[in-house]
Structures are given as C-alpha cells and as structure tokens.
Structure 1
Amino acid sequence: MDPAEENSSKTVDIYRDTWVRFLGYANEVGEAFRALVPVSLVWGSYAVATAYVTADAVDKGKKAAVAHGDNPGKTTRVAVAVVDTFVWQALASVIIPGFTINRVCAASLYLLGRTTRWPLPVRKWTTTAIGLSTIPFIITPIDRSVDFLLDSSLRKVYNEGEKQE
C-alpha cells in the first residue's frame, strides 16, 4: 500500500491528532500568565484542560466499548481504557506541566527581581515570555516520564488483570 493511502486510512483521534490537543495545554498558558492576569483566569485554564482530559478519557472508553462488543471482560477493559487515559492525561497534560511552568515562572520572577532593576511590569512580562517559551521543551520529556511511570506501575496491574481473565 502507498504510504499516502496508509495515512489517509488511519482513524484521526481528535484528542491527539488535531488542534483539540492544544486544549490540554491551556493550564500551562494560564500558569505562564499568572503574574499578569487574575487568578480566576488561571483556574479557568485548568478547567479547560481538565475538560479536555475528561473528554479524551470518555472517548477512549466509548471506543473500547465498541471494540470489545459483547465479549467477556468488556466492562473491565472499558474501565481500564478510561482510567489509563484519564490518569495519563491528568499527569502529562495538567498536573506535571502546570507545576513545572508555575515553578519556572516563580523562579524567573524572583531571579529577575534580585538581579535586575527592571520595573515590575517588565519583569512580569518577561516571566510570562519565559513560561510560554518553556512549554515546547517540557512536553516530550514529561510525556515520556509519564509513560515510564504508568508502565512501571498502573499498567502492570492492568496487564496482570488481563492475564487472569
């Protein structure tokens, strides 16, 4: 089969293969802007990211339900799909990157205050720029770390359960 035909025949996952994926990064953007916007907007960015995580988990559960039809163990497999997706996305898209950007921005603002005589608005905008520019660099390492964490923990439990069925 021609590679172009192969790519077009693959199912597009709107939560991973389209612009919708960027909704998972809303909280990182919110954290980067924390010094400039009301905290309620930052929390709103977490609501957007959490809605994305939840929608992806529900979607993977529905897909698992269809894939397993009326086979024995369907409920368990659907639950595993939902839990695995939700935990992975919560860690890789919300918790770890949000914390990371928060700390990068806090450290930047502190260091700029200690090492420069820039006015506070300039330090805040610089902190926001540093936070935003950090996002692309943390995505892959965090994703890989969460894969390793889940492969070493929860996914071992899931795989043991499948062997017993």
Structure 2
Amino acid sequence: MGAAERDPYRDTWVRYLGYANEVGESFRSLVPVQVVWASYGVATAYVTADAIDKGRRAAAAHTRDPAQATRVGVAVVDTFVWQGLASVAIPSFTINRLCAASLALLGALTRWPLPLRRWATTALGLAAIPLIITPIDRSVDFLMDSSLRKLYGVPGEPPAPH
C-alpha cells in the first residue's frame, strides 16, 4: 500500500466499528444481552472485512509472482488474529471486568440507587476505552512478534503489498 493510499479499515471512521463490542460491554448493565452480542457481531464483521481486505491487497501485489501466494495467507491470518485479539477479545474482556468490578464496588461502597450505579458503570466503561487501546495494541504486537510472527519471520505488521 503506497504512502498516499489510505487504508479504509485503519485510517477512516470505519476503524471505530472495531470498538463496537467495547461499547456493548460498557452498556451491558443497561441493555438486553442481545444488544451486547450484536455489538460483537459488528466488531467481528469489521475484523473479518479487514482481514479479507489485507488478503486482497496482498494478492493484487503478487499477481506477477504466484510463488508469493503464501504472503496472501500470512496477511489474512496475521490481520485476523491481531484484530481478533486487539479489537475484540482482550478489550471486551477488559471492559467487561472493569464494569463488573465497578458495579460491585459502587454497590458495596455507596448507597446510590441501582440505576445510578449502572449509569456510572457505563460511563466508566466508555471512558476507559480510549485509555486501553494503545497498551492493548502494543501488547498484542509483542505477543504476535514473540509467537505467531516467528513462524513466518516478519516482525511488526503483516507483510504489506508492494
């Protein structure tokens, strides 16, 4: 991908669809569980679309060299695993536990009515989303560089199309 070419899954508003599940987890105490699961559907669709896009880009870059087809698979797998961990699994678990703990603590430490405690928990969850993104992204980079990426020998981001 050229320097001037924008990645729609990373450089536009579409990237925020990857955070849908964190928003869903933040609202878990206020909405039916089906709404939370729907937020996971949105985030998973984003992750899948990004992985497919990276595979298409890698395939287009290697149309003249079929021996490089492995790079297409690497681009898809790396993107899907990275996004699955950094955009869905780890942040949603983090927000879920933060909200559950805050709701329990507010119940134990305050006399606030339950609706107020639920809204406070939701606000805390939403406020935490921007704070957890960078540490989780960096941790997933480290995890991937220390494990899966060693199998295909490319540290950092998946191989970019030329």
Does TM, normalized by the shorter one, top 0.5? Answer: yes
Per the alignment, residue 23 of structure 1 pairs with 17
Relative to structure 1, is the Cα distance of residues 54 and 104 closer, same or farther in structure 2, using a 3 angstrom cutoff? same
- Between structure 1 and structure 2, the one with the greater Rg is 1
Aligned structure 1 segments of 4 or more residues deviating by more than 6 angstroms: none
Secondary structure, counterpart of 2:69 in structure 1: helix
Choose which of 139, 145, 149 in structure 2 pairs with 1:155: 149
The structure showing larger relative contact order (alpha-carbon pairs under 8 Å, at least 6 residues apart) is: 2
Is the aligned partner of 1:75 residue 2:69? yes
Deviations 1:83-124 (A, max 9, x none): 000000000000000000000000000000000000000000
Question: When the two structures are superposed, what TM-score results if normalisation uses the length of structure 2?
Answer: 0.92
Is the aligned partner of 1:145 residue 2:139? yes
Structure 1 gaps of 5+ residues are 1-7, 161-165
Higher helix share: 1
Deviations 1:57-79 (A, max 9, x none): 00000000011113143321110
Q: Distance in 2 between matches of 1:9 and 1:151?
A: 24
State how many pairs are aligned.
153
> Shift of residue 35 of structure 1?
0.1
Secondary structure, counterpart of 2:9 in structure 1: helix
Q: Distance in 1 between matches of 2:72 and 2:51?
A: 10
Question: When the two structures are superposed, what TM-score results if normalisation uses the length of structure 1?
Answer: 0.90
Structure 2 gaps of 5+ residues are 155-162
- Over aligned residues, Cα RMSD in angstroms? 1.3
